[in-house]
Amino acid sequence: MRRGEISAYVEKLTLSSSWIRLFFILLGAAICSFGIHNIHQRTGITEGGIIGAMLLVEHWLGASPAYITPVLDAVCYLMAYRYLGIRFIQISVVSTISVSFFYKVWECFPPMLPDLSDHPILAAISGGMFVGIGIGLIVRQGGSGGGDDALALVIARVTHWRISRCYLFTDLTVLLLSLSYIPFTRIVYSLITVTISSYLIDFVLSFQWPALLQRK
């Protein structure tokens, strides 16, 4: 994301319909959680960001994920509050609750996609597409699906990097540290999925909707 684009997204939130924004947040949450539940969790592809950091801390320090995840998310949201403001936090509360809600929904059904455990490259590509499109829709509405999204947006605001570069920076940092306990062959598939998801998030943010869908 180019210089000033993060500010523009946050400052123009009031220009769009709240109901339209909520629709896209729910759609993004459904898409993202669907991919993670039906692909990532079934194939064992390691995540970057907060999930990967949580697994890293759990492995080396033995701390419970129930405590690690809220702490890591809280730190990211505190930084987001400083740089992105209270409006971002308010929308993020809605989006994170939406993601959790759809996780519970998908868990009520049997797997809806074929098991790709024997096809890890296909799993990495398709999983990255679900996450990238889903999170991209959420971030485009001015929110985040979790602490790692908030952290990437803060980095983009401070450094003026493109959002895809910020996601890759945080994900690759966590995945490289994860090499301390995860075999390289497994990390490779994670690198594929986070690279695809990072660039798809950037694409969704930069995509120009048809004129009829844009509020003037």
The CA dihedral of 206, 207, 208, 212, to the nearest 10 degrees, is -140
**Measured distance CA(116)–CA(134) in Å, rounded:** 20
pTM of the model as a whole = 0.78
**Domain locations along the chain:** 5-206
pLDDT tens digits along 49-85: 777 787 788 778 877 656 777 788 888 888 888 888 8
Q: Would you say 144 and 153 are in contact if contact means Cβ atoms under 8 Å apart?
A: yes
**Measured distance CA(37)–CA(40) in Å, rounded:** 6
Tokens of 48: 């970057």
Closest C-alpha among 45, 3, 69, 35 to residue 137: 35
Tokens 């490259």 correspond to 121
pLDDT tens digits along 106-157: 888 888 888 888 888 999 999 889 989 998 999 888 888 778 888 988 999 8
